[in-house]
Structure formats: C-alpha cells, structure tokens
Amino acid sequence: MEKLIESKLIKADSAFKQWKNITFEERQRLIAKAAELFRSRSEEFGTIITKEMNKPISQSIAEVEKCAVMMAYYANAENVLSPDKIESEYQISEIHYVPKGVVLGVMPWNFPFWQVLRFAIPTILAGNTVVLKHASICFGSGNAIEETLLKAGFPEGVFQNLEVGHKEVKEILEHPTVKAVSLTGSEKAGAEVASIAGQKIKKSLLELGGSDAFIILDDAELDEAAKVGALARLQNCGQTCVAAKRFIIQKNIEFDFLPKFIEEYKKYVPSDPMNKDTKIGGMAKADLAEDLEKQYQKALDNGAEAIIPLERISETEFIPGLITVKEGNPILQEELFGPLGMIMIAENDDEALEMANNIPFGLSNSVWTKNAERQKFFIDGLESGTVNINRMTSSDPRFPFGGTKSSGYGTELSLLALKEFVTAKTILGK
C-alpha cells in the first residue's frame, strides 16, 4: 500500500477516536453549515459533474441542491442513537449505539455528489469517519466534497477522498483501520467487495443495479404516465439504477398508451450538456456506450423488435431506443444502463406482476392505477425495496432506500440509515 494512502487511513482512524465523542447536536451543526455551502455553490459543483460525466447541467445543479436538502434533513433529524432504556428486572438496562469506526465508501460516477453524500452524511452523523474511493472519472467531485466539508468545519480526517483505482480497494478494505464498507455499483462489483468484507468479518452495505418495472394498467392516467415514463427512463441518459427500464403495458390499452409514450420519448434529443435547456446528453464514457450497443444487438438477436432504433450519433451520444421484448429474452436478466427502454405487454394484473418479478433484481417499481385494490395487489406482491404508485421512482431523504435480491442489502436514507454502521451494545447491571 502506498504510504500516502496508509497515512490517510491512519488519519481517519485517529480522527474517529475524537469524532465519536463529539455530540450528535454538534455534528448536526456542522452538517447544517455544509448544506448551506453546497446549496450556495450548486452551479459551480454542477459544472464539475457535467464536465466529468456529461450529465445535463440543469440535472447536475439539481443533484447538488438535492444533496443540500438531504443534509438539512439530517441536520434536524431526531437523535435515534441516544441510549434506549429498557424496562427489565435489572437496575441498569440499556442499549447503546456505538459507531464502528472508519467506513470505506466505494461510489459510482452516475451521481457523483449524491451517491457519496447520501452514504457519507448519516454515516458521519452516527460518529464514524469516512474514506472515499470514487469512480476514476469523478476525482474532481470527490475532492470538492472533501474541501467543502472541511470549509464547513469538519475536523481533518472525518472525510477523505482517496484518488485510487479499483485495484486498491481490496487492500484498503483489508486494512485493520477500516471497519466496514458501503458500495453503490454493479452486481459484479458488489459481489467482489462483499466477499472481501466477509472474509475479514466486516460489515457491508450494497446498493446495486436494477431493472425496474413501470406498470401501466387500463385505469391509469395515460397522458401523465407517458410523460413521466419517458423522464423515468431517460433522466441522466438512462444511467440510473432506479430508472424505469421495463414498461409493462396492459394489453387492452397498448394502442392508446404507446403512441403517447413514443411522442414523449422522442422529445429527448441529445444536445450540449452545458445548455440548461438540454434534457439528455451523452453517456459518461465511450466504453459504456459500446456495452449498451452490444446489449441492444443481443436483445434483437433473441427476438426483440425495435420500435425506435437505438442510434449512436457520436462517441457517447444516442438517439434513445425503444424495443419490444417478450419473456424468455436473456436481455431481461441484465441491467440496461443507458437510453434504451423495453416494452412488454401483459394480459392482466397477474401477468403484469409475474413479469415485473421475473428478474434477478428487486430495487424499485412503479405502478399506474387509480384503483385502491389493484394498488394493494401490487404493493403486496412486488419484490422490491420500493413501490411507487402513480409516480416515478426518486429517492427521498425521509424514507429508506435499498433493494432486495441482486439489487443488494442494507438501508440508505431515513433515520434507519443512522443505525447501519453502529453496534447495538447491550448494558445490563444490578
């Protein structure tokens, strides 16, 4: 291990020994100050995001502003980590919540500020310190976050950005100062990191991929579902784990809904990401665009049909594609991370539910129906961490975020996230 990296890990461990004794309220004060700084510099930081991974600037600015909203939530959150006093026959009968120590964050490029801070803020508020391994194209974002937290008054070592490649992750995670890891990324990356953590008996949290269903039933508001559905698939150029990827349409409204949806879909034409009116830019990297092309061809080779051909117009830009896919196509077992959507037709609610669940992933789903009984049927039956009714998936600081099956485990956001990287310590005495 490089001496610089090891020195930062030791620094994080040393900072933890002090930080864990800082009061919850003082940590919140610093988070509130940081929220103000991120909000006031949202355009500056949004520009960093856009230059690093091609996100339209309006979406990049909104990402930074959302970070500020999330931080304000935690700055005013209830202290659920105060000792719980339990009634029992013992004179002393308590549960204390003890932070674990240095937590490694392995974070992706698609939301360079949000993914990092969504993990880091509740982790730090709980009394831990954080070291970040960001995506290699997002070191500028990682450094900006570290600089801003220091400016807000966080002690040195509480949050550090490590400019390292993926090959160094194993060595860092195995280092005795690191007590846990949180990863947002692919299923493959999650399995590798969880395996390393498991061998060293260290806690891991995984937020992985998805192939979320957007289910449109025959009593849905079709105009709104079409408009929201296009955004749900193509926001951030479709590079979102909770993006709508499979549009399951009830058969008897196929010819009513599909033209509306296609009309909305075609409004997303790649343009200059630095223009605030741009709705879709290019993908983050050329190799990702190549991967999407290969998946598109694989789908076609296995019986899918193009409604709107996926057309590559530059190294990273596409005219967004839309295909019809039937059960059994192997592409349904993969995640499409880019501007390509899939249309599926279901006879009825039972078949729609079966289609929605018949994948390895279980992150988030959206169901469009006005009927309360149908809503309950899907709420109870869908195998996912989130179910949305008549809305697209979007995370909210107040509510838990996470998946099931191959979409990972553990909870981010909400008050539950404060207990992810703590030990529940039982205290009993006479």
Q: Quick one: tokens of 277? A: 């009116």
Residue 395 inside a domain? The answer is no
Residue 24 sits in a domain of what CATH number? 3.40.605.10
Residue 306 inside a domain? The answer is yes
Q: Is there a contact between 157 and 15 (Cβ–Cβ < 8 Å)?
A: yes
**What is the structure's pLDDT at 148?**
98
Q: Report angle CA 13, 158, 46 to the nearest 5 degrees.
A: 145
Q: Quick one: tokens of 76? A: 């005013």
Q: Is there a contact between 106 and 133 (Cβ–Cβ < 8 Å)?
A: yes
- Would you call 237 a catalytic residue per the annotation? no
**What is the structure's pLDDT at 364?**
97
379-411: b (≥16 Cβ within 10 Å) or e: eebbbbbbbbbeebbebebeebbbbebbbbbbb
Query: CB 124: neighbour CB atoms within 10 A?
Result: 25
Listed as own residue / partner, the contacts of 21-30 with beta carbons closer than 8 Å and 24 or more positions apart are: 22/127, 24/79, 24/81, 24/82, 24/125, 25/79, 27/124, 27/125, 27/127, 28/74, 28/75, 28/76, 28/77, 28/125, 29/75, 30/152, 30/153, 30/154
Q: At what angle do helices 139-152 and 114-125 cross, to 10 degrees?
A: 40
Q: Quick one: tokens of 47? A: 């520009």
**What is the structure's pLDDT at 115?**
98
Whole-number Å distance between alpha carbons of 207 and 411 = 8
Bridge partners (DSSP) listed for residue 423: 98
- For residues 365 and 240, membership in a common domain is answered with yes
Q: If DSSP codes are grouped into helix, strand and coil, which group holds residue 360?
A: coil
Residue 402 inside a domain? The answer is no
Helices (H) and strands (E) in the chain, counts: 13, 20
Q: Is 201 left (phi over 0), alpha (psi -120 to 50) or beta?
A: left
Whole-number Å distance between alpha carbons of 216 and 287 = 33
Q: Is there a contact between 421 and 126 (Cβ–Cβ < 8 Å)?
A: yes
- For residues 168 and 33, membership in a common domain is answered with yes
- For residues 187 and 141, membership in a common domain is answered with yes
The domain in which residue 45 lies consists of: 3-208+407-429
Residue 299 inside a domain? The answer is yes
**What is the structure's pLDDT at 22?**
98
**Residue 315 one-letter amino acid:** E
- For residues 322 and 238, membership in a common domain is answered with yes
Query: CB 31: neighbour CB atoms within 10 A?
Result: 25
Number of domains composing the chain: 2
Could you tell me how many residues make up the chain? Answer: 430
H-type helices in 347-402, by residue range? Answer: 349-357, 372-381
- For residues 322 and 301, membership in a common domain is answered with yes
**What is the structure's pLDDT at 2?**
87
341-367: b (≥16 Cβ within 10 Å) or e: bbbbbbeebebbbebbbebbbbbbbbb
- For residues 313 and 329, membership in a common domain is answered with yes
223 exposure class (CB count in 10 Å sphere: 0-12, 13-18, 19+)? exposed
- For residues 164 and 262, membership in a common domain is answered with no
Query: CB 82: neighbour CB atoms within 10 A?
Result: 10
Residue 263 inside a domain? The answer is yes
Residue 113 inside a domain? The answer is yes
End-to-end CA distance of the chain: 48
Q: If DSSP codes are grouped into helix, strand and coil, which group holds residue 231?
A: helix
- For residues 27 and 69, membership in a common domain is answered with yes
| Kind and range of the H or E run holding 291 | helix 286-301
**What is the structure's pLDDT at 257?**
98
Catalytic, out of 63, 146, 207, 264 = 207
Whole-number Å distance between alpha carbons of 99 and 77 = 17
Residue 237 sits in a domain of what CATH number? 3.40.309.10
Residue 394 inside a domain? The answer is no
- pLDDT by position in tens, the chain (length 430): 789 999 999 999 999 999 999 999 999 999 999 999 999 999 999 999 999 999 999 999 999 999 999 999 999 999 999 999 999 999 999 999 999 999 999 999 999 999 999 999 999 999 999 999 999 999 999 999 999 999 999 999 999 999 999 899 999 999 999 999 999 999 999 999 999 999 999 999 999 999 999 999 999 999 999 999 999 999 999 999 999 999 999 999 999 999 999 999 999 999 999 999 999 999 999 999 999 999 999 999 999 999 999 999 999 999 999 999 999 999 999 999 999 999 999 999 999 999 999 999 999 999 999 999 999 999 999 999 999 999 999 999 999 999 999 999 999 999 999 999 999 999 999 9
pLDDT in tens, 101-136: 999 999 999 999 999 999 999 999 999 999 999 999
Catalytic, out of 241, 334, 335, 412 = 241
- Would you call 67 a catalytic residue per the annotation? no
- For residues 182 and 228, membership in a common domain is answered with no
- For residues 295 and 382, membership in a common domain is answered with yes
Q: Is there a contact between 216 and 264 (Cβ–Cβ < 8 Å)?
A: no
**What is the structure's pLDDT at 199?**
97
Residue 68 inside a domain? The answer is yes
Residues 6 or more apart from 158 whose CB is under 8 A from it? 12, 15, 19, 124, 129, 130, 149
Q: Quick one: tokens of 61? A: 């600015």
- For residues 358 and 421, membership in a common domain is answered with no
- For residues 119 and 225, membership in a common domain is answered with no
Whole-number Å distance between alpha carbons of 190 and 192 = 5
